[in-house]
Structure 1
Amino acid sequence: MSFRGGRMKTGLRSRPSGKPQRRPRLPKPPPEPIPFLAHLKSIPDPVEALDLFLSPSSSPHHRNPAVVSSLLYRLARSRLFSPPHLPSLLRLARSNRVPLRPALLSSIIRHLGRARLPREAFSLFLRSPRRPLPCLNHTLNALVDNRCLPQARSLLSQHAAYSNVVSYNILLKGVLREHGLDAALHLLDEMSSRRVAPSVATYNALVGHASRSGMVARAFGLKEEAARKGVEPNAVTYALLMEGLCLEGKHAEARRLMFDMEYRGCKTGQVNYGVLMSDCARRGDFEGAKELVAEMRRRRMKPDGVIYSILVNYLCGAMRVDEAYKVHVEMQMEGCEPGAAVYRMMVDGFCRVRDFDGGLRVLNAMLSSGHCPRGETFVCLVSGLCQGGRVEDACFVLEEMVKRKKGLEAEGWRSLVEAISGGCDSNIGLISKLTSMDFVEDEE
């Protein structure tokens, strides 16, 4: 060994000072394409795709997680929950021990909840070999949204060890709806005893319920309590308080609160202007609502679809459909694409004022944008067109209903029969068209 400069030379490389440098991770190669999966996705009808998958010739793909997961998601999104669709495929996946990702299970549970099938969602959660937190929360939400609060309480208590504040927020929503504020505050105490810190969403739920129930002073007290616990209010908190003030007829105080929140360090958002606009429009002060939109632009806040939908909704409700249509066109010129709700408001508004030309015009734009009206909107259009003797246009609307599998309920059929049985000879063609179409029951 040799010494140089008072240090022993060992022949080992010295480690550089500072944090050790990690080798950059190489990106994962993309998965190889599966021709059978691509073929399944190209089949527009999910039932037909399922039949192909279950055929004996496709048995080599029955253990492929990518193929099984893709088909399960399509069936859930199409609400094909009854045997032999989704249940059969789930049984096949379990028998073949196909691993299903938690995100897929969460999505299926969410769709079951939206389809008002909470028992099926709960059963799928219990049968899952792994029960991650997202699946638990989606199951809780399915139970709470479908008024199965006792089952949701029991489920949360059984899995309290790995629940989080989102789990309690979901349960809080149901407690507020069914038992009121005092019971919800008891649940808040239970969260503290389990060392689950409430979030701003927790207090927003409490503040919103108190504001809408005429307890505005108590709502302000809850905001102060949240601040004392380190939960700072956000724009939604102030919007809920503003809504409570507006419901009490205190529009000026609500407006002052919106500017006061900025002094407290909370930036004003679209939701705050939306509350003031809704209050103006509810009182028939449409000029005041439009002035708020102009004020937003002056403050360099671009109005979004929700802001425009408030104006469209209240203008259509006040039978001022031509003004609503101008707002509808204006939002598109501003680069804000109308959503399905705005299109539906416009079509329904034109139907209410018996302007079926305008309704048909908006319907065409709506369909070309990939959106679809409700079944009752179709019925209103068809009935009005029939009464005006416009059978060809009525047939067009009916054909669009069939393409989108929009059926008619009993009330819809009654209205339609009354409209086309008025003795007009031109409606004979429409009756023939109806008897040749394959209507299905409306899912919504």
Structure 2
Amino acid sequence: MISTTSTSLLSCAAKINKTTSNSSLFPFLSLLLSRSLAISTISSPPSSPEIPSRLRHKDWLSPTEVLDLFSALKNANSILSSLDHYSHRKDYKPTEPLFTLLINKLAHARLFDDVEVVVDRIKNERNCRLSDEFFRNVIRVYGNLGGRIKKAVEILFDMPAGYGVWPSVKTFNAVLNLLVSARLFDVVHEVFVAAPKLGVVIDACCLNIMVKGLCECGKLDVALQVLDEFPKQGCERNALSFSTIMHYLCVCGRVEEAFGLFARMEEEGIESDTIVFNVLIAGLRRQGQVDEAMVLLKRMKLKGCAPNAGSYQEVLYGLLDAERFSEAKEFMSRIISMGASPSLKSFRCLIHGLCKENRMEDVDWALKQMGRQGFVPKRGMWREILLSLFAGKISDNCVSYEQIIAN
């Protein structure tokens, strides 16, 4: 925009040009005018296109209208400047929905430094009441999306004093689970013992997370001791409490101890679910006890617990590991008839075993079933099938396998 001073200079230059005979004076005035215009342009910059125009108008904006404006922002880099501009308006009203929207948009754009700016700004917003759910979302953004686990823990501890919000046990457990998933077991213990200071009452979910963390760091005996802490904390043990430890016991080859926990569950009247049975079936399979796994599968049905695809798949793997390919084929047929789909690995193992035994009719059946399940045999599988098919039958007049695949 040309200023009033610049307009006056133009007018004066025109008058001087008409009244003077000195032709060298007007170029000088023209140069002076151009510099004045440049200075005027610098001192009066145009409005930034990044900030929504409606935020620059003096019309009163409701919180809902503000949400719509920030939702429509396409460039996440303009969020902070737009928020700063909005905060200087007389109708500025910080709300939880607004801050949630901004943080989620910045997180989606991977601008986690900007997220920290917004979160730090919230501390100074005395007129904005925030909920525990809001901070749980911030913790999710920092930990699960941004990988900034340290910041997630800091938010948890800063909630009471910095933001005036006491964390719920759900938010507390979200941080614990985040730490266990990141295998930061030392920090898990620090957070766990700080529960009373944060006003958190330990629940069964919290103890289950601790059991998982202890198992993952190899402290199975300590995890077993935590089971005894449930009643002391006024919590009830559930199937998850036992199945977590049972799984790691089976992985470590301590299958008998896992069955001991299973018996303890039944004594305490805790109903076993599909996960519990699958853990035990997988444990027996690792020990090569496929017959016992099949017995447990039947027992599972008798107890009214419906097996899933994982239950049958573990038994099938057990039969394949034991090279009982005839039984494995029949068991696979049962799985398919029930509407389940065996894994690609089990098809590969079965076809490999049938080729070793030169049972080509069964190989043909397996290939057809494999195709019906949407799996495509690779070159290596075809090679094995052809070698088995022509084993001992190749003469000088026969076409070689290499010639077949070359064509």
TM-score by length of structure 2 reads 0.57
Match of 2:384 among 413, 419, 423: 419
Shift in alpha-carbon separation, 1:231–1:398, aligned structure 2, 3 A: farther
Measure the CA separation in 2 of the matches of 1:329 and 1:227.
Answer: 46
Q: Is 1:150 aligned to 2:110, yes or no?
A: yes
Contact 2:167/2:198 (<8 A) preserved: no
Measure the CA separation in 1 of the matches of 2:213 and 2:369.
Answer: 43
Measure the CA separation in 2 of the matches of 1:321 and 1:300.
Answer: 28
Measure the CA separation in 1 of the matches of 2:357 and 2:115.
Answer: 57
Following TM superposition, by how much is the alpha carbon of 1:390 offset from its aligned partner in structure 2, in angstroms? 2.5
Following TM superposition, by how much is the alpha carbon of 1:221 offset from its aligned partner in structure 2, in angstroms? 2.8
In structure 2, what residue type is equivalent to 1:251? L
Contact 2:179/2:187 (<8 A) preserved: yes
Following TM superposition, by how much is the alpha carbon of 1:214 offset from its aligned partner in structure 2, in angstroms? 6.2
Following TM superposition, by how much is the alpha carbon of 1:194 offset from its aligned partner in structure 2, in angstroms? 7.1
SS in 1 for 2:201: coil
- Identical aligned residues as a percent: 22
Q: Is 1:296 aligned to 2:265, yes or no?
A: yes
Shift in alpha-carbon separation, 1:327–1:427, aligned structure 2, 3 A: farther
SS in 2 for 1:341: helix
Q: Greater CA deviation, 391-400 or 164-173?
A: 164-173
Following TM superposition, by how much is the alpha carbon of 1:251 offset from its aligned partner in structure 2, in angstroms? 3.3
| Counterpart for residue 171 of structure 1 | 141
Measure the CA separation in 2 of the matches of 1:364 and 1:152.
Answer: 52
Following TM superposition, by how much is the alpha carbon of 1:156 offset from its aligned partner in structure 2, in angstroms? 12
| Counterpart for residue 379 of structure 1 | 348
Measure the CA separation in 2 of the matches of 1:214 and 1:252.
Answer: 18
Following TM superposition, by how much is the alpha carbon of 1:298 offset from its aligned partner in structure 2, in angstroms? 0.9
Where does the alignment leave 5 or more consecutive residues of structure 2 unmatched? 1-96, 123-129, 394-407
Q: Is 1:350 aligned to 2:319, yes or no?
A: yes
SS in 2 for 1:421: helix
| Counterpart for residue 270 of structure 1 | 239
| Counterpart for residue 94 of structure 2 | none
Shift in alpha-carbon separation, 1:217–1:358, aligned structure 2, 3 A: same
Shift in alpha-carbon separation, 1:174–1:215, aligned structure 2, 3 A: closer
Following TM superposition, by how much is the alpha carbon of 1:270 offset from its aligned partner in structure 2, in angstroms? 1.0
CA RMSD of aligned residues (A): 4.0
| Counterpart for residue 32 of structure 2 | none
| Counterpart for residue 150 of structure 2 | 182
In structure 1, what residue type is equivalent to 2:150? D
| Counterpart for residue 77 of structure 2 | none
Q: Is 1:407 aligned to 2:372, yes or no?
A: no
| Counterpart for residue 260 of structure 1 | 229
Highest CA radius of gyration, 1 or 2? 2
In structure 2, what residue type is equivalent to 1:422? L
Following TM superposition, by how much is the alpha carbon of 1:267 offset from its aligned partner in structure 2, in angstroms? 0.8
SS in 2 for 1:267: coil
Contact 2:144/2:178 (<8 A) preserved: no
Measure the CA separation in 2 of the matches of 1:393 and 1:236.
Answer: 49
Shift in alpha-carbon separation, 1:250–1:186, aligned structure 2, 3 A: closer
SS in 1 for 2:361: helix
Following TM superposition, by how much is the alpha carbon of 1:379 offset from its aligned partner in structure 2, in angstroms? 2.1
Contact 1:391/1:426 (<8 A) preserved: no
Measure the CA separation in 1 of the matches of 2:315 and 2:228.
Answer: 33
After superposition, residues 57-136 of structure 1 pair within 5 angstroms as: none
Contact 1:200/1:233 (<8 A) preserved: yes
Measure the CA separation in 2 of the matches of 1:167 and 1:153.
Answer: 16
Measure the CA separation in 2 of the matches of 1:173 and 1:368.
Answer: 44
| Counterpart for residue 296 of structure 2 | 327
Shift in alpha-carbon separation, 1:167–1:249, aligned structure 2, 3 A: closer
In structure 2, what residue type is equivalent to 1:301? I
Contact 1:216/1:244 (<8 A) preserved: yes
In structure 2, what residue type is equivalent to 1:174? N
In structure 2, what residue type is equivalent to 1:413? K
Measure the CA separation in 2 of the matches of 1:281 and 1:234.
Answer: 27
In structure 1, what residue type is equivalent to 2:193? E
| Counterpart for residue 336 of structure 1 | 305
Measure the CA separation in 2 of the matches of 1:188 and 1:241.
Answer: 18
SS in 2 for 1:371: coil
SS in 2 for 1:204: helix
Shift in alpha-carbon separation, 1:354–1:205, aligned structure 2, 3 A: farther
Measure the CA separation in 2 of the matches of 1:343 and 1:365.
Answer: 9
Following TM superposition, by how much is the alpha carbon of 1:420 offset from its aligned partner in structure 2, in angstroms? 0.4
Cα displacement string for residues 379-435 of structure 1 (whole angstroms, at most 9, x for unaligned residues): 22222223322333333333333333x223xxx51441232022424999xxxxxxx
Contact 2:282/2:314 (<8 A) preserved: yes
| Counterpart for residue 306 of structure 1 | 275
| Counterpart for residue 388 of structure 1 | 357
| Counterpart for residue 283 of structure 1 | 252
Measure the CA separation in 2 of the matches of 1:155 and 1:362.
Answer: 54
Contact 1:391/1:427 (<8 A) preserved: no
TM-score by length of structure 1 reads 0.53
Measure the CA separation in 1 of the matches of 2:351 and 2:113.
Answer: 47
Contact 1:211/1:240 (<8 A) preserved: yes
SS in 2 for 1:273: helix
Contact 1:321/1:350 (<8 A) preserved: yes
Contact 1:383/1:415 (<8 A) preserved: no
Following TM superposition, by how much is the alpha carbon of 1:340 offset from its aligned partner in structure 2, in angstroms? 1.5
Measure the CA separation in 1 of the matches of 2:139 and 2:357.
Answer: 52
Measure the CA separation in 2 of the matches of 1:346 and 1:151.
Answer: 48
Following TM superposition, by how much is the alpha carbon of 1:209 offset from its aligned partner in structure 2, in angstroms? 4.7
| Counterpart for residue 318 of structure 1 | 287
Contact 2:136/2:174 (<8 A) preserved: no
Contact 1:173/1:205 (<8 A) preserved: no
Contact 2:180/2:209 (<8 A) preserved: yes
User: After TM superposition, which residue ranges in structure 1, 4 or more long, deviate above 6 angstroms?
Assistant: 151-158, 160-163, 189-197
In structure 1, what residue type is equivalent to 2:153? L
Contact 1:216/1:241 (<8 A) preserved: no
Shift in alpha-carbon separation, 1:194–1:354, aligned structure 2, 3 A: farther
